[in-house]
Amino acid sequence: MVLMHPAPALSTLDDAGLRTLCGRLGIPEYRAAQLRAAPWQPFVATLDDVRQLPTELRSTFDAQVRFSTATVAAERTADAGATIKLLCGLDDSLTVETVAMETPARGASRRRGTACVSSQVGCAVGCPFCATGRMGLRRSCTAAEIVDQVRLAGHALHRHGFGPVTHVVYMGMGEPLANAAATIESLHVLTGAAGISARRITVSTSGVVPGITRLQREAPPVTLAISLHAATDELRNRLVPLNRAHPIAALLSAAGSYASATGRRISVEWCLIGGVNDSLQQAQALRELARSCGAHVNVIPMNRIEGSSWGPPDPEVARQFLHQLRGVQVTVRDTRGGDVDAACGQLRASLEARRELRPDGTLSPPRTAVGA
Ligand code: SF4
């Protein structure tokens, strides 16, 4: 259950809501536009930093809205500072992981500032290779909590001397389409008030077929990524237990319909696990499947997680697996921040192991707190 704060979250108040608020307070309507833009200005961490608003208005609004629903409780960096892993504390003291990643400009590619956000505290899907899956589901995030993670990632990039967030990926803790209403609401805020192009936002799902249909109907046309990890139902039933409810054929059919309706190419994610899904047969089945739906394949060698016998593949086996994917557009993603537990759920798991995180998911008195 989410502990409800009495004041609404500023980041998810829409134009109409802000105009109503201004009207109720007897404040000119043009202030609504300033309030809407306020959370997305650079260097703004509280309403007090919004200098366009007179001091007395700032304190009036401060009593009416919440500027942020999340704060940074812990921070770690890796990759020479280009990956910043945040543990974000929520109202009820539960925590989620958020990652900010800086990718410098290279050749014709512009720089990217990517925020990887969590959509749930924990996850009910229970993939055995995932640290978050071991936690079970504590609760879903609100739209404001998702959006505020993007803001905190932007602040973190700024603190480390980088530019703003340009891309958002829903690949942190949780299954975003098991929390479809909040995910869709957050997408409207990010593509609206925050001004991030839908083309630069990716929602990754383990295969919630009704959620894909709803995303197609109700959300801006973001990129859909399918966390496939196995190309046969037999293996996928083990790796992604949700597959028993939504098998591969149904998933690919929903993804194909999404691609046709939005004109966005599907991405397929494949966490490559040594001795589990790195066989030539799986590679060949993946190639056929990716060709059939014109998908781009992202291969991510598994991060080792504490207490699991599974880990990354042998480099030569991985090379042969990739060789089988010829003819398909493939990207091998580096496991950014592997040295700071940056795979989904790993920072949290390692803090738990060091007893900085209580078993109920709340933080012990923080040893590395930084400002929001
Ligand atoms: S991999 Fe994703 S869907 Fe699977 S348990 Fe982890 S967070 Fe949930």
pLDDT of residue 368: 37
Model confidence pLDDT, tens digit, residues 52-82: 899 999 999 999 999 999 999 999 998 889 9
CATH topology of domain 70-353: TIM Barrel (3.20.20)
pLDDT of residue 308: 77
Model confidence pLDDT, tens digit, residues 239-296: 999 999 999 999 999 999 999 999 999 999 999 999 999 999 999 999 999 999 999 9
Model confidence pLDDT, tens digit, residues 321-362: 999 999 999 999 866 554 444 345 554 555 455 455 455 555
Task: Spell out the domain ranges in the chain.
Answer: 10-62, 70-353
| 120 Cα nearest atom in ligand 1 | 7
For the cut 80, the answer to whether the pLDDT of residue 364 exceeds it is no
| 171 Cα nearest atom in ligand 1 | 2
Instruction: Quote the tokens at residue 342.
Output: 């940056």
Residue entry with tokens 């293996």: 235
For residues 247 and 209, what is the distance between their CA atoms, to the nearest angstrom? 9
For residues 316 and 261, what is the distance between their CA atoms, to the nearest angstrom? 40
pLDDT of residue 65: 94
For residues 354 and 370, what is the distance between their CA atoms, to the nearest angstrom? 19
For residues 178 and 174, what is the distance between their CA atoms, to the nearest angstrom? 8
Residues having CB closer than 6 A to ligand 1 are 123, 125-127, 130, 132-133, 173-175, 206, 344
Catalytic residue numbers read 97, 344
Beta strands in the chain (DSSP E): 70-78, 83-90, 95-103, 112-116, 120-122, 137-140, 167-170, 201-205, 223-227, 267-272, 296-301, 330-332
**Substitution candidate for ligand 1 out of 132, 208, 272 with most atoms within 8 A of CB:** 132
Model confidence pLDDT, tens digit, residues 94-106: 999 999 999 999 8
Closest CA to 11 of 36, 41, 45: 36
**Substitution candidate for ligand 1 out of 130, 134, 203 with most atoms within 8 A of CB:** 130
- pTM, full prediction: 0.89
Q: Which CATH architecture describes the domain 10-62?
A: Orthogonal Bundle (1.10)
